[in-house]
Amino acid sequence: MKTDDRYGQQVSPQAIRKNMFWNVAGSVGFIGAQWLMTILIVRLAGYTEAGYLSLGLSLTNVFTNIAYFCIRNYQVSDTADRYSADIYVTHRMLAAFSAFLLYALFVLCNGYSVYVTVFLLAFMLYRLHEAVVDVFHGIDQRAWHLDVAGQSFLMRGILTLAAFFLVEKLTGNLILTSIAMLVFAYGILLVFDLPRARSYQTFSLRFDRGALRSLTGECFPLFLYALCLNAVVPIPRYVLEKLAGSEVLGYYSSVAIPASVIQLLSSYIFTTFTGLFAEYAAKGERKKFQTLFWKLAAGVSGLVVLSLAGCMLLGEWALVLLFTESIRPYAYLLTPTVLCCGVIALIWFVGTVLTVLRDRMGLFTGAAAGTVTAAFVSWPCIRAWGVDGVNAALFLSSAVTLVLFFCRYAVCIKRL
């Protein structure tokens, strides 16, 4: 149910640029703040506490996928208003609650110490604010106000990083630090994100079982697609750790951190246009749809080419600056890792477009094929080429998914 005619407005190029700027700036700021936490914890509390934080990040990254349920792109592209904002918000709250219950069960069954258990539970509560605010940002995006989302990201990034630094420095206690972070995060959600989302579309919690079941069924293939897509990168890293040990994996992971920026930057750019793709699809404007698709595909590809050039010129210097001389023997991995990240960025882009085109089974099939390929090729590639085999396996499996996605796009665009 639409309550704001801005959902159907003509959007100016200035508005698109404003949305893109704030979305990129805010998202990069928020992720940068989280990255700084992983560095600060070592200096503030030592490697033991850093290990606990790393454990918390790893576990919550898995279980927050349940809370998101891969609904955001579906929500933004729901131009026919098949589901109301009430249903999207209620579904997200129920999914977040379910994610926390499953996570808590997992943590309690693993026999961690009381301190680690309480920290992990508090940290999950903090991380779940990201899933909750995401559904509000979907409402903002449909109203072409991703500037609100970007401003929210910046505020939450700055305040939670400040809370992390101050409380951890004063107490050295990750439980208290997590509580301080979640107070600031949910505070901004309540006083900034919630009122602004409601100014674009009114909503409330509504437990319509039929609509909630229907939305779950609609997005379940998308959820499976997301799980498969997110499994491709960890599989070769898992094999590397088994064959070469944690230290080599640590070096590879350190090189991959700056390389992964290419995926994030590209996603923040093309996500801005999800609503425009949905509008063209709803109106059957195939030519405009294809023009926008190829422009953005060229933009992502251009970003990858520029990143590769930057790596060749400054990559080794930048890595040594960030991680000291110990990383130099592995610096050559940066260029092929950036190439792999570029292919994954294109997968994310085409996957977003296929979501708009409602090709749910195509998404799942392509992602599952990539996961199966990664499972089959990782072991022989890494046994043959060592750490270089990680990128070989990642490139092969990602290429399979990308080719299948482009094939599905070619089929779906003919039906538009």
Alpha-carbon gap, residue 340 to 170, rounded angstroms: 41
Amino acid at the residue 173? N
Alpha-carbon gap, residue 370 to 363, rounded angstroms: 11
**Residue 47: pLDDT band with limits 50, 70, 90:** low
Cβ within 8 Å of residue 105, ≥6 positions away: none
The pLDDT, as a whole number, for residue 6 is 45
Mean of pLDDT values over 246-251: 75
Query: Are residues 352 and 274 in contact, defined by beta-carbon separation less than 8 angstroms?
Result: yes
DSSP secondary structure code for residue 10 in this structure: P
Cβ within 8 Å of residue 303, ≥6 positions away: 262, 265, 266, 269, 342, 345
Cβ within 8 Å of residue 339, ≥6 positions away: 304, 308, 391, 395
CB neighbours (10 Å) of residue 333? 22
pLDDT of 7 over the 50 cut: no
pLDDT of 15 over the 60 cut: yes
**Residue 14: pLDDT band with limits 50, 70, 90:** confident
**Residue 237: pLDDT band with limits 50, 70, 90:** confident
The pLDDT, as a whole number, for residue 73 is 84
DSSP secondary structure code for residue 9 in this structure: P
The pLDDT, as a whole number, for residue 5 is 39
The pLDDT, as a whole number, for residue 164 is 96
SS3 217: helix
And the tokens for 396?
């092969």
Mean of pLDDT values over 114-143: 95
- Percentage of the chain with pLDDT > 70? 97
The pLDDT, as a whole number, for residue 27 is 84
pLDDT of 342 over the 90 cut: yes
Alpha-carbon gap, residue 254 to 411, rounded angstroms: 39
The pLDDT, as a whole number, for residue 392 is 96
DSSP secondary structure code for residue 112 in this structure: -
The pLDDT, as a whole number, for residue 177 is 96
Cβ within 8 Å of residue 335, ≥6 positions away: 308, 311, 312, 315
Digit-coded pLDDT (tens) for 77-96 = 888 889 999 999 999 999 99
The pLDDT, as a whole number, for residue 59 is 82
pLDDT of 1 over the 60 cut: no
Residue with the larger pLDDT of the pair 372 and 250: 372
Alpha-carbon gap, residue 58 to 230, rounded angstroms: 13
And the tokens for 226?
């997301």
Q: Count the residues in the chain.
A: 416
Please state the pTM of the whole predicted model: 0.79
Helix residue ranges, H only, 69-84: 72-76
The pLDDT, as a whole number, for residue 10 is 62
pLDDT of 176 over the 70 cut: yes
SS3 280: helix
pLDDT of 290 over the 90 cut: yes
The pLDDT, as a whole number, for residue 253 is 75
Q: ∠ CA(31), CA(151), CA(354), 5° rounding? A: 65
Mean of pLDDT values over 136-160: 93
The pLDDT, as a whole number, for residue 375 is 93
